[in-house]
Structure 1
Amino acid sequence: METKIGKLLTWLNESPSFNISSKIGIHETPHTGRGVILTNDKLHRNEVIISVPSTHQLNFHTVLYHISKYNTDINLLGITIPRSTENDKNYLKDLNRNDPRFFYYSQLSQEFLVSLSSFQLLSLYILSEWILLPYWSQNNSSDEYESDIKPIQSFWQPFFDVWPTKLELSSFPAIWDCDPDSYYKYLLEYLPFETSINYKRISNLIQIDWKVIQPVLSSWIDHMNSQQINNGLNCVLPTISDLYYQFLHIYTIINSRCLYAEVPLKSDDVKNNFTLVPYVDFLNHTSKADGHCIPSLNKLKKVKSCGIGEFQIRCGSMGYKMLKEEIFLNYGAHSNDFLLNEYGFVISDDKNLDWNFVNISNSVESLLENNSKMIKFLKENDYWGEYTINYDSISYRTLIALSLLVTKDVRRVEKLMQGLISEEFFLPKINLLLKSILTNYKTKYTNNLDYLLRTPIIEENTFCRQNVISLIKGTLKIIDHHLESM
């Protein structure tokens, strides 16, 4: 890995705008993986730690820029490669005209590319540059080619080389669901309710995105097979099933490593506003919202520049003084179920207690299902669904729904919503119902936990099972705290 990180730094240093503090370095442990640590001196508040130029980030704009090198029909002012000046024309002349990307990227229309989401475009492009380009180069050869010709390599290869393996990213519930051969599919039925909601949401997005890019990949595979026959080659080429598994891997890489950044061409949808930033993605998450590192994007001012802007990491208010101390970045105020679904890990429940919660929506909604009047009232007032409790309290949405259930009095609940009646009026009655609900949840999650703790391990990565165990323990901790206080 040190060699790969060295090559990554060499690649980044090709840009004069790249800067990394001499006080930090990469540290790797079997338990926590890679992280950034303080290697010497001190880091002070607001000190720039890492600065990565726009040209070396992967996002909607930079992908279009690189595709436009090989497809002259892609022409978006301020985004794609300019072709107006003599210098621009000379630059294009320097490209290898035998590069197979001239053919494959020419199949992509500007209208199609712009219509894609950031996830769809980046997945398709990374599949092309990381997985397919070696096959394209090989398939493009013939007997007349000299043996010493170097294979074509992607500009992004040093970035690809430091990405985590499939095994390292095997802890995402959505991947257990989407991968037909996953070892961990059995774990899905033991997940807490909220975690199940999130993994199903992500699984659905994965399948939608795959359906969008699959026709392009299938067309490319057909051409590769025809080209191989014409060139008299007999190499093993990837199938569409092979690319689907690669797509799942790439999808988790994007999802777990992207950083929020406004993408002008896609600014109307927050899900599209992200960028992948080399080296910055080595920074691990902390649940502490303040004090550690501060990310920022310095937007581009030059119209002809590539990308969306320089991405910087500055030291937070606490600073860093202890050698080998890990330098953290807060990914957001996220519960463990969100962290597992989006990033593939959970953190100590004690450290994340403020953000964890239990979703009891399915129980509350089932109690309401035969009362259309109550359901209509809750929907009209935007109090339908998302009934949660955290360690210290129940959410106001839950309070409203349970108050309606125990009193069946719409007028009184309306007064509660208006602040004309105190919550204390409803709490004694709510507690009886809530105790029953939580007791049922406790029984279910305790049984799930017991099964996972006593069942022999069959999978190669015990980290996945341990994450689910941690989630269940955290859920039971919240439930027990409320039951004990009743």
Structure 2
Amino acid sequence: MNPALQDRRWRALLVWLESLGMQVDAEHLLRLSPLFTLPGPAKINLRTLQPHYPSRAQGRLLSATQLVSLHLSLYRPASQDDSESPDPFFGPYVSVLPREFDSHPLTWLVKKALSLPQTPFEARLPLLLPPGVLSDLTKVETRFWEDWQVVSNYVEEFPKVVHSVDGLPVLDFLWAWLNVNTRCLYDDLGLDRADNHSMCPIFDFANHAWMQPTMKPIQDDCPPAGVGELTCISGETSIAKDEELYITYGAHPNRFLFVEYGFVNPVSEELLASGQYFGEADVQALVEEMILGLGTTGVWMKQVLQDEGYWGDWTLHSAPEPAHPSYRLITALRLYHLVHTLDIEEQDSLALQPWRDTLSGTKDDISEENERVWRNTVLELCQILVNRAELGLQRLQAESETVGGLDWFGWMVENIRLLWWEEREVALAVARSIRRGETF
């Protein structure tokens, strides 16, 4: 972007925020000291937007994500770099939002679904992802299309909200939805938890730090209107003028950061080995295939796990030390191997009591043999992940040699490489823990 243009937009944003009562002290930022306070009316959320949009029949409303995405869609700046948002309420803020999300992995899937032109490498990118990452990305895509359908129905019900005879373009909605999904902060507005989030100027410009963020938001007591101020304070470490400020997007694994935000934490071998970084590997599909491969018994076992709240979300972790399988995975594998010792007629509550005793804490384990076999199964899962990651890295290397055209391709290749690398290293670390006989 043109630096002069960027500076002009930034200054316009500050003037707009100042007109709403915001004050900024940029001279010296001490530990746990206020940096600035964002006025409630400067936030884009369900509370600030609802007065400007008609309610649906029987009082049904759009969700926060849907309404904010609709609003941003309607006031997206034109594609030209020098255009500004025509938004009469939040124009200076919308004008400084990212102009495109071409590198976000959701964009690849949506463009494919719409049969839009893609470079050969861009079209193949989803196939280069670890299976668990692609599965999670597909879930994000499902959320997007569900929101698009609801908003499309709303626009049909209230066509006057769209100032265009062509309706609401899906790519404008994608741009808006990704701004909401990647930039909103949790903000207690007195609504259902899923709707308690806001687009917050200044806050959302901060990059992510997975540990020791240098600033964080503190909410004032929420007034009845639900649009209270949000104060940013510095973190535990003192910072100086002109030093970059970071917030944390949450203690999420790289798999989550990639599919939701489009980037990953840079991870080194030393960091992973330190026991400080919470690396994670997903074995959901592998274990699900094992269980359902038992046929009728597997279907029954799935129901048992669902009833007890332990179906799915099966993972391996590098931290806290020792590297370990998740308790949910251990629980599922204990049941899997217990069922191997039962006849189909024995699959009742009484037969499962030893397993349920481990859930209640009455017993530490089912038996020595059960512990041995489920730990061996974890070793097998680890080896599958390692082998799969090696092949994934080889394919990625081969594909990357053909990369050309867009500036972000090389950066994205490195992101995907780190996803494969982390999955492999976490699997190796867990395998070492199993062989050492670590207790989990």
- Compute the TM-score of the two structures, normalised by the length of structure 2: 0.79
Where does residue 173 of structure 1 map in the other structure?
A: 105
Cα contact 2:70–2:176 (8 A) shared by 1? no
Cα contact 1:45–1:318 (8 A) shared by 2? yes
CA deviations on 1:130-171 (whole Å, 9 max, x unpaired) are: 359x9xxxxxxxxxxxxxxxx9762322112211121xx333
**1:103-122 counterparts in 2 under 5 A?**
108-109=54-55, 111=57, 115-122=61-68
Cα 1:429–1:109 shift into 2, 3 Å: closer
CA deviations on 1:34-72 (whole Å, 9 max, x unpaired) are: xxxxxxx4x22331112110111111111123x1xxxxx
CA deviations on 1:312-339 (whole Å, 9 max, x unpaired) are: 1111222224x54322112211111111
Rounded to whole Å, the distance in 2 between the matches of 1:56 and 1:178 is: 31
Code of the residue aligned with 1:122 in structure 2: it is V
Where does residue 10 of structure 2 map in the other structure?
A: 5
Rounded to whole Å, the distance in 1 between the matches of 2:227 and 2:416 is: 38
Rounded to whole Å, the distance in 2 between the matches of 1:223 and 1:318 is: 48
Which sections of structure 1, spanning at least 5 residues, go unmatched? 24-40, 68-104, 135-150, 226-238
The CA RMSD measured in Å over matched residues stands at 2.9
CA deviations on 1:393-434 (whole Å, 9 max, x unpaired) are: 111111122223334354443333343444593443223222
Rounded to whole Å, the distance in 1 between the matches of 2:87 and 2:301 is: 62
Rounded to whole Å, the distance in 1 between the matches of 2:41 and 2:172 is: 25
Code of the residue aligned with 2:171 in structure 1: it is Y
- Do structure 1's residue 159 and structure 2's residue 164 form an aligned pair? no
Cα 1:223–1:334 shift into 2, 3 Å: closer
**1:456-475 counterparts in 2 under 5 A?**
456-458=402-404, 460=406, 461-462=408-409, 463-475=411-423
- What's the CA shift for 1:121? 0.9
| Rg (Cα) greater in structure | 1
Find 1:343's aligned residue among 253, 261, 264: 261
Secondary structure at the residue paired with 1:467? helix
- What's the CA shift for 1:128? 2.1
Cα contact 1:18–1:52 (8 A) shared by 2? yes
Rounded to whole Å, the distance in 1 between the matches of 2:236 and 2:305 is: 44
**1:210-229 counterparts in 2 under 5 A?**
210-215=148-153, 217=155, 219=159, 224-225=164-165
- What's the CA shift for 1:450? 0.9
- Do structure 1's residue 374 and structure 2's residue 301 form an aligned pair? yes
Rounded to whole Å, the distance in 2 between the matches of 1:428 and 1:224 is: 65
**1:201-240 counterparts in 2 under 5 A?**
201-215=139-153, 217=155, 219=159, 224-225=164-165, 239-240=166-167
**1:424-439 counterparts in 2 under 5 A?**
425=368, 426-439=370-383
Cα 1:153–1:211 shift into 2, 3 Å: closer
Where does residue 282 of structure 1 map in the other structure?
A: 205
Rounded to whole Å, the distance in 2 between the matches of 1:368 and 1:164 is: 44
Rounded to whole Å, the distance in 2 between the matches of 1:190 and 1:213 is: 32
Rounded to whole Å, the distance in 2 between the matches of 1:468 and 1:301 is: 44
- What's the CA shift for 1:349? 2.3
Secondary structure at the residue paired with 1:174? helix
Cα contact 1:258–1:274 (8 A) shared by 2? yes
Secondary structure at the residue paired with 1:194? helix
Code of the residue aligned with 1:381 in structure 2: it is E
Where does residue 359 of structure 1 map in the other structure?
A: 282
CA deviations on 1:365-404 (whole Å, 9 max, x unpaired) are: 2211122443343233222221111011111111122223
Cα 1:152–1:413 shift into 2, 3 Å: closer
Rounded to whole Å, the distance in 2 between the matches of 1:273 and 1:185 is: 35
Code of the residue aligned with 1:398 in structure 2: it is L
Cα contact 1:406–1:433 (8 A) shared by 2? no
Secondary structure at the residue paired with 1:277? coil
Cα contact 2:55–2:61 (8 A) shared by 1? no
Cα contact 1:130–1:157 (8 A) shared by 2? no
Rounded to whole Å, the distance in 1 between the matches of 2:58 and 2:95 is: 29
Secondary structure at the residue paired with 1:383? coil
- Compute the TM-score of the two structures, normalised by the length of structure 1: 0.72
Secondary structure at the residue paired with 1:130? coil
Identity %: 22
CA deviations on 1:219-263 (whole Å, 9 max, x unpaired) are: 4599844xxxxxxxxxxxxx45x7111111111111111000122
Where does residue 415 of structure 1 map in the other structure?
A: 357
**1:49-198 counterparts in 2 under 5 A?**
49-65=35-51, 67=52, 108-109=54-55, 111=57, 115-130=61-76, 154-166=88-100, 169-180=101-112, 181=116, 182-183=118-119, 184-198=122-136
CA deviations on 1:170-191 (whole Å, 9 max, x unpaired) are: 3332222122335534222232
Where does residue 395 of structure 1 map in the other structure?
A: 326
Where does residue 169 of structure 2 map in the other structure?
A: 243
- Do structure 1's residue 328 and structure 2's residue 262 form an aligned pair? no
Structure with larger RCO (C-alpha < 8 A, sep 6+)? 1
Where does residue 28 of structure 1 map in the other structure?
A: none
Which sections of structure 2, spanning at least 5 residues, go unmatched? 1-5, 342-351, 436-440
Cα 1:217–1:381 shift into 2, 3 Å: closer
Q: How many residues align?
A: 386
- Do structure 1's residue 309 and structure 2's residue 309 form an aligned pair? no
- What's the CA shift for 1:345? 1.2
CA deviations on 1:92-151 (whole Å, 9 max, x unpaired) are: xxxxxxxxxxxxx6xx4464885111111112222223359x9xxxxxxxxxxxxxxxx9
Rounded to whole Å, the distance in 2 between the matches of 1:387 and 1:415 is: 20
Cα contact 1:293–1:316 (8 A) shared by 2? yes
Secondary structure at the residue paired with 1:318? coil
Secondary structure at the residue paired with 1:326? coil
